[in-house]
Amino acid sequence: MEELNGFLSSLFKRGIEQMLEGELTDHLGYDKNNPLGNGSGNSRNGKTRKLIKTESGEVIIDVPRDRNADFEPLIVPKRQKVIEKIESIVVSLYAKGMSTRDIERQIKEIYGVTISNSSISNITDQIISDIAVWQQRPLDDTYLIVWLDGISLKVRHEGKIINKSIYLVIGLNTAGKKEVIRMWINETESASFWMNVLDDLKIRGVKDILIACSDNLVCLLGCFIHTNVIETW
């Protein structure tokens, strides 16, 4: 559980930093490295580190700065160190199964009425690009052990906090390091759902899994009989 909490914290950090980048882009009026910024009178000016406290512990994030020093972050306001009630929401954005509209709706829930719809759109575009990078990153070709499991995260939906099931694939690679390979939001946990999950891993380069661990999915584990070779799926 400690390793999982560490992963969720790192993904929260990644999401928050992307949202801050989106805020700064909205503030400046142009994307990073865009020629429109030439002669604009303001530009990006590195980052500063900030320690924030969340529900699961402390996280150090990199906050982007502008040269004129008039950028005021909203998601992590200056002089505020305690960030509450949004950690699970930010993490859930990286789960497969979230549509663009779902992501934009969640970001609206986080920011409330403090910014315009165009600003929300800019921030959404920023984080969606990073979500795609994370979800499509290539995987190792071999994992010693893969755990298939689910957790429940609290997510804000239509003004209410509800529980959402997030299904995880956690892999132990040949270097002995655990990593969360993928996350999915799905209504039900079924053999057919997990088969789609495994097909996704195959597409992203996984060829061998030595041991697969899962609860109450005998039919899925049957797919791993003689499974040093994923091609037999």
* C-alpha triplet 29, 30, 33: angle, nearest 5°: 155
Among 93, 121, 96, 97, CA closest to 108: 121
Q: Check: pTM over 0.95? Answer yes or no.
A: no
Q: What are the start-end ranges of the E strands in 10-159?
A: 44-54, 57-66, 142-157
* Cα 168 to chain centroid, rounded: 12
Strand partners, 10: none
Among 20, 16, 22, 42, CA closest to 118: 22
Give the dihedral sign, CA 173/179/213/196. Answer: negative
pLDDT tens sequence for the chain (233 residues): 667 788 888 999 999 999 999 999 999 998 888 887 787 889 999 999 999 998 878 999 999 999 999 999 999 998 899 887 788 889 989 998 888 988 998 898 888 877 899 999 999 999 999 999 999 999 999 999 998 888 887 766 666 677 778 888 999 999 999 989 999 886 666 677 777 888 888 899 999 888 888 765 544 544 443 344 444 33
Q: Give the Cα separation of 73 and 70 in Å (integer).
A: 10
